[in-house]
Every structure is written in structure tokens, then in C-alpha cells.
Chains A and B, each alone.
Chain A
């Protein structure tokens, strides 16, 4: 289950950027740098960067349409776990189950493939989406690093 207690023991970071596409790579790099202390493999870093890129791109592309809102990113680390929250105050998602379906997109004309949520689910250990139409969307994700190494102890 996805749960965390951002308490004094847990290290965290917060970041806020305007919903502009040039910030996509910036947020990816920040999260990768923050996760580096957990000593992830290169593959794990790539998976986290891709999942973050999907959530941030969605906020830029779908949440605000053309007017520029803000995207908030929070991340917490503990042991081998990285929690990430990406939130916007945009238009929200009416039907989350449909949005999660592979290949579902409401913007095929912009060459979107509808694979964003599927990629997040494949690359992260958990993905929780909450959204209220007209208010915004929060995507919470959990990544557990070095799983194989840990279970072999």
C-alpha cells in the first residue's frame, strides 16, 4: 500500500515549476539527483525518470490546456524507497479507470499514444491517481530500489 509519513525522520524535497514543457527535463534531473542517495541501478534511474516525465508531461499537456498553471513535485526517501507526488490544479480527470487504460488518449491529433499511465504502472511499484474535475490531479508513485539484492539477504 502507498503510504508515507513525511515526518522529521524522513528526508524530502519539494519543487514547484510553471507548466512549461522546457521544465520536463529539469524535473527529471532533479528527481534523479534526489534518488541517487539510494544507490539505484542505471535501469532503475531511467524507469523513475520516465515515470516522472509522464506525470509532469500530463500536467502540462492535459491539465491546463494552454493557460499556464503550476506543477508541484514532492519526493520522500526512506531505506530503499522513493515516494513521489506530482500535482496540478488543472481541469482534472473525469474517468480515471478509462484514463489508465493502455492506448486511451483524448489528444490523438497531437501524436499522443495513450501510454503514459501504462508506462508509470510498469516502471513504478505503485501508482495512485486522485483527481477531482475542475480542481486538479495528484499522481503518487512508489519505487522500491534494489529489490533483488534485498530479498537475497
Chain B
């Protein structure tokens, strides 16, 4: 899995490409935590447009970031959700607590 990180003011955009599983979930976690150390960031946008596979490791990893940002007074927004990825996040109860947008622009609007 590749993780691309972009900053838009106080928002961190994380673009995930490839497969999010037990093997790769740590890459995602560490990439976000590294940014949190060095910058003042409030919100997180997870772009899953190019995420071709996800299992329950994705639920755990996204829930972990949700708690992390919530505890700092920030928000998490997901965009680019495929039907399959949506089903998995839904089973994990995440769609009840995390807003889903179609793309990054809409996610940024949601946060402003």
C-alpha cells in the first residue's frame, strides 16, 4: 500500500493506494502519527478512492485514527468509498460516526 500525504491548512489529507490489511495497516498509522508530531493538525481526510482491498484491519486502523483526532478536538472524514469498502466500514459501525464525502473537495467543505 502507498500512502500519500497532503496538507491543507489544518487538515491532513491521506490518500491510500493499494491494499489495507494487517500487513500494511501500520504504514498508514505511522504516516499519520509522524505528521501529528511535527505540525498543528486538526482534521483528517482519508481518501480511499484508490484503495483496492480492505479487511477488518481497515476498521481497526480507521477507528484508531478517529479516536486520536476526536481526542484532540478534531474530525475525521472519509471520501472515495467503493461499494465493497463501504460494506466493511458499515459492518464495523464506522459510518454512524464518520462522515462520508464523494471527494476531497467536498470533504474540505464539510470541515470548513
**A residues in contact (CB < 8 Å) with B:** 21-22, 24-25, 28, 43, 46-47, 49-50, 53-54, 57, 60-61, 102, 110-113, 115-116, 118-119, 122
Q: Which among B22, B23, B53 has the highest number of chain A CB atoms within 10 Å?
A: B22
Question: Whole-angstrom distance from the CB of B69 to the nearest CB of chain A?
Answer: 14
* Complex Cα spacing A57 to B23, Å: 9
Question: Sorted from nearest, which 6 A-B pairs have the closest CB atoms?
Answer: A21-B23, A111-B60, A113-B59, A111-B64, A53-B55, A113-B60
Which DSSP category, helix, strand, loop or mixed, fits chain B's interface? helix
Among A47, A57, A115, the residue within 8 A (CB) of B22 is A57
Contact A46 B56 (CB under 8 A): no
A21-B23, A24-B22, A111-B25 given; A116·B63 CB < 8 A: no
Q: Which of B17-61 contact A (CB under 8 A)?
A: 19, 21-23, 25, 29, 53-57, 59-61
List A contacts of B54 (CB < 8 A): 50
In the complex with contacts A53-B21, A60-B22, A115-B53 CB distance below 8 A: no
Q: Which residues of B contact A50 (CB under 8 A)?
A: 53-55, 84, 88
Select one of A110, A111, A122 contacting B91, CB under 8 A. A122
B92 within 8 A of A: yes
Whether the pair A57, B21 counts as a contact (CB closer than 8 A) is yes
| B91 and A25 within 8 A (CB) | no
A24 touching B21, Cβ below 8 Å:
yes
Q: Does B83 contact A (CB under 8 A)?
A: yes
Q: B53 touching A54 by the CB < 8 A rule? A: no
Given contacts A43-B84, A119-B56, contact A113 B22 (CB under 8 A): no
A-B contact pairs, 28 of them (CB 8 A): A21-B22, A22-B23, A25-B19, A25-B53, A28-B53, A43-B84, A47-B84, A50-B53, A50-B54, A50-B55, A50-B84, A53-B21, A53-B53, A53-B55, A54-B56, A57-B21, A57-B22, A57-B57, A60-B22, A111-B63, A111-B64, A112-B56, A112-B57, A113-B63, A116-B55, A119-B56, A119-B88, A119-B91
